[in-house]
Structure 1
Amino acid sequence: MNMKHPTIKKQVFEFIIRNGLVSKAALMDKMTVTSTSLSRLLEELLTDGLILASELGLSTGGRKPILYRVNPDHRAVFGLEISRFSSSIGLYDLNLKPLSFERWKMDEKMTPEALVAKITKLAEQMLMDCGIDREKVIGIGIGAVGPLSREDGIMLKPRYFPAEGWSNVPICEWLEQRLGLTALLDNGANTAIIGEHWALRNEEVKHMLYVHAGVGLRTSMIASGQIVRGAVDMEGSFGQMIIQTDGPRLGDEGNYGALEALVSIPALEKKIRSQLKLGRASSLSGIPPEQVQFDALQKAYRAKDAFITEQFLQTATYLGIGIANLINILHPEAVILGGPLVNAHKSIYDTVIQVARSNIYYSPQYEPKFTQGQLTEDAVTAGAALMLLQEWELN
């Protein structure tokens, strides 16, 4: 796959994808191209089978204008999420409509080799079930837990996977060999925001912040419609923001007083286990503290366990402060919050937003829109497919 700057032909194609039904006049307003050249490009796209021109627009007198739309069945693309709790794969048409989708839990048996074998089997079954030839598939986009090397297609040293072996995994090379398809890797926060930005395309949001709170803290940012990238993979950097000087440390690495030590599933489990060992009253007191997992914490919260509620809302407060810090630096128009911690209960999400809003410096003149997103838990997978589609160079 060639990663060159998109050609005018590709820009025309992408504009049609994003806008659905498009007239030549609408394209002329957006493209720096002559009418003759645009007609030629549209004819090429029609001949290639990438677009259709089967619908007519409203006339203002004279002939009705032709409206162009993407041919969704011309090609297909896979999107893949690799995460700690669960992973998923989807097969999408050119309108990013899911043709087939599968999600599964990650456990101690799901080594990288086992995962690749599962993905290969699922992908081949999806193509067979949907009647799609492999030659029609553009490739597979991957949104994975970082840190990673996007350029080399390698997952470097992600933490907290249930299975062994998740270090320096050349995931793109392995999948390309097994599937015979081009593979492209990025961190899941980036593919999620690509997907959510696509879902909100009619609102023309130019500056967007995405925050995922779960086993770790993952963030991404779109500015002026483009992903913001640093010199290294930035996915987990939000978790290293220092909130409490000389505060706790999560595990044996990272900053002391970092946000991830106060706001993450491992941090929440660690704190609650410690308090239960000291005899803190809770509906979970009958469970050995070392066996208390996040699923049990969610159930206790929903059952209005006073101690567990206190811990969740304290976590939500710290997360709100961290998000306010990001907002005060980046000033996004929209903030999308996701992940198991935020999605555990609406009251947790509401608390995060309330705390964040109360600490925005320019409020009330400036206030971003908060949302849990349109694609929610499917954002990483759909965004990974879209990422690959955006990189695809038309012949």
Structure 2
Amino acid sequence: MEKRSTFIPSPKKLLYDRIAEEGTVSKSELLTAFSLTKSTMTRLLDEMTHEGLLIESGFGQSSGGRRPILYQINPSYGYILGLEVSRVYSSLGLFDMQMNPKSIIHWRMDEAFTPENFLEHISTHSRAFLRDHQLIDSQIIGVGIGAVGPLDRKNGMILQPLHFPAAGWNNLPICKLVEERTGFKAWLDNGANAALLGERWAIRHTNIQHMLYVHAGAGLRSSMMSHGGIVHGTMDMEDAIGQMIIQTDGPQLHNNGNYGALEAFVSVQALEQRARSEAKLGRDLILKTYKVSAEQLTYDVLVQAFRDGDPLARELFTQAAVHFGIGLANVINLFHPETIILGGALIHSHELFFQTAAEVAQKNIYRYPEYSPHFSLGKLKEEAVVTGAAIMVRDHMVL
């Protein structure tokens, strides 16, 4: 695996990113962090302030002389759109340069959301955001897209995703289409990477450098961060965790998946299949309680039954959480992150799912308890992807 950058940042960009990370910082602190002369640093800060990239934000503590000027990035230098393309819920958000959300909307994806309707939807709401905040097109830096994979990030394409409720999402040049529809430059990465960028931004002052994000929903998706940067492979590896084999000769969820893969035990589809099989074997209390047929035994029904205390639903979700914990432990034992953030529909189905998965993972971690990572539901939760997508655009700014 490799951690890569698409361009070599200029001194201005390095300064800008450092100030964005710190929030507020003085010239002396920047001189300590960078190998620049005082005159060069003064010139760069003056230029960036004149260009509107930075603003002065008061004075720091004096160490004997004049109080130092503090700098921060200018939140209104520009604005960024963050877009989440997912199979169950998608989102669109408008952010300032400090990643403060100005407007965010979420919507349920269904069979009506073909790519054409999806693009019309985001175009309409993007324009509404600009009107609401009295912005013009030139103030928009770009659109960051966090999408379900597999992806061709270089060419801005969604390739062959599974389980989309609407047709037309295969081999879709999503960046090109978004640019044509909105008029704004677009960048693409998978949703797990975007979510991890967003969640890491939310806790950036903790200085955590090694993180793992795992999303459990219609599929399993994961992302790793090492030394503060996303780890990419030679191929988009967002869904690789779902293909981890945890039971030799186990079940197969779909024709292209591995037998005994984690996703065959831990996913919305796996839960539905297991519940329907149990119902056909005579364990049909859920069908009677909620007045549905086996074919109508959807994930939403199962979640409601779980929350209502149905014993079969509890059993199914608990078994899935145990398998999920085993899969998590395997990834953790390879990577040893400081923090593991869990998200997705299964994680948020009930607090018991998160607790069970974390406990099982912890019990199977190599070198526990001297190595004991922190398990978290994250700070941003359902807004993590759109926030991270916006950060991706800011990261690609050329200064």
TM-score (norm 2): 0.97
Map 1:305-316 onto structure 2 (within 5 A).
Answer: 305-316=310-321
Deviation at 1:327, TM superposition (A): 0.4
Match of 1:295 in 2: 300
Query: Is 1:142 aligned with 2:116?
Result: no
The structural deviation recorded for 1:251 is 2.1
Contact in 1 for aligned 2:91/2:106 (Cα 8 Å): yes
Distance 1:54 1:140 in 2: 28
Whichever residue aligns with residue 232 of structure 2, its letter is R
Q: Percent identity?
A: 48
Q: Which amino acid aligns with 1:31?
A: F
Structure 2 residue 235 is the aligned partner of structure 1 residue 232: yes
Instruction: Identify the match of residue 123 of structure 2 among 104, 120, 123.
Output: 120
Aligned to 2:360: 355
Q: Deviations over 1:102-141 (max 9, x none)?
A: 1111010100111011111110110111011110111000
Pairing 1:221–2:233 present: no
Distance 2:335 2:198 in 1: 20
Query: Helix, strand or coil: the match of 1:308?
Result: helix
1:372 partnered with 2:377: yes
- Please say if 1:336 is aligned against 2:380: no
TM alignment of 1:23-34, pairs within 5 A: 23-34=26-37
> How far has the Cα of 1:202 moved from its partner?
0.6
Q: Could you give the per-residue CA deviations for residues 181-209 of structure 1, whole angstroms, max 9, x where no partner exists?
A: 11000000000101111111111111100
- What is the alpha-carbon distance in structure 2 between the residues aligned to residue 64 and residue 230 of structure 1? 47
Specify the alignment match of 1:94 in structure 2.
97
Q: Does 1:391 align with 2:396?
A: yes
1:326 is matched with: 331
**1:54 Cα deviation after fit:** 4.0
Q: Which one of 42, 45, 50 corresponds to residue 47 of structure 1?
A: 50
CA–CA distance in structure 2, aligned partners of residues 17 and 135 of structure 1: 22
- Aligned pairs (5 A) from 1:76-95: 76-95=79-98
Please list the CA deviations of residues 212-231 of structure 1 after superposition, one character each: whole Å capped at 9, or x if unmatched: 00000000000111111111
Alignment of 1:168-207 (within 5 A): 168-207=171-210
Q: Which residue among 149, 156, 163 is the counterpart of 2:166? A: 163
How far, CA to CA, are the matches of 1:141 and 1:125 in structure 2? Answer: 18
User: Residue type of the partner of 1:267?
Assistant: A
Given that residues 141 and 384 in structure 1 are in contact (C-alpha distance below 8 angstroms), is that contact kept between their aligned partners in structure 2? yes
Q: What SS is found at the alignment partner of 1:138?
A: strand
User: Secondary structure, in 3 states, of the residue corresponding to 1:167?
Assistant: coil
Give the aligned residue type for 1:79.
Answer: G
Q: Residues 77 and 91 of structure 1 are in contact (CA less than 8 Å); yes or no, is this contact kept in structure 2? A: yes
- Aligned with residue 110 of structure 2, among 102, 107, 110: 107
The RMSD of aligned alpha carbons is 1.1
Note if contact 1:284-1:300 (Cα within 8 Å) is conserved in structure 2. no
TM-fit CA distance, 1:3: 4.2
Structure 1 residue 281 displacement after superposition: 3.9
Which whole-Å deviations, capped at 9, do the CAs of 1:23-82 have from their partners, x for residues lacking one? 011111211211111111101110101111141112122211100111101110010000
Paired residue type of 2:369: P
Q: Deviations over 1:120-179 (max 9, x none)?
A: 111011011101111011100000000011000000011101111110111100111111
Q: Structure 1 regions of 5+ residues with no counterpart?
A: none
Matches within 5 A, 1:263-302: 263-285=266-288, 286-302=291-307
1:160–1:215 contact (8 Å) kept in structure 2: yes
Q: Does the Cα contact within 8 Å between 1:211 and 1:337 map onto a contact in 2?
A: yes
Long gaps (5+) in structure 2: none
| Residue identity in the other structure for 2:32 | D
Report whether the alignment pairs 1:56 with 2:59: yes
Measured against aligned partners, the alpha-carbon deviations of 1:252-295 in whole angstroms (never above 9, x if no partner) come to 22100000001100001011011112211423334101111111
- Does the CA-based 8 Å contact 1:80-1:89 persist in structure 2? yes
For 1:208, the equivalent position in structure 2 comes to 211
Query: Quick check: 2:26–2:70 contact (8 Å CA) kept in 1?
Result: yes
Distance 2:284 2:123 in 1: 48
Contact (CA 8 Å) 2:24, 2:57: kept in 1 or not?
no
Q: Which amino acid in the other structure matches residue 280 of structure 2?
A: K
